[in-house]
Amino acid sequence: KPCCEGLQQCLGDWHVTSTWSYLCLSSCDHRPGPPVVSGLSICPKTVSLHSGHSIWNVAASSESCASSDGIRGDVGYACADSSGAVDWSSIYVDMDSVTNKVGCFV
């Protein structure tokens, strides 16, 4: 079934169950992908916090941190077990994933 006018048909694992389906959205930019292997035994796979299911959010401001790069949330991930089940209450910060390590990570 096609999407309504102005929407895109986006393929993703929307419920993080390893079941891929289509969803009609204004943009497919933030669709969740499969968990990525992290190399850590306590957090074998990771999923971007921007997938929309996490309890963690990037703060709008911070009293304790000031940076010309602003507040960043590009290094935050949720942990998934080896089967791909995501623990959305977990948080894994991967500073190795970015070259620019300057900024406020809250």
| Partner residues linked to 77 by β-bridges | 48, 92
pLDDT for position 30: 60
Core vs surface per residue 30-58: b (16+ CB within 10 A) or e: ebbeebeebeeeebbbbbbbbbeebeeee
Cα(93)–Cα(29) distance, rounded to whole angstroms?
22
Confidence of residue 92 (pLDDT cuts 50, 70, 90): confident
Burial class (CB within 10 angstroms; exposed 0-12, middle 13-18, buried 19+) of 76: buried
pLDDT for position 61: 77
23 backbone dihedrals φ, ψ, rounded to 5°: -140, 140
For 8-28, the pLDDT digits (tens) are: 888 877 666 666 778 788 777
pLDDT for position 33: 58
pLDDT for position 57: 75
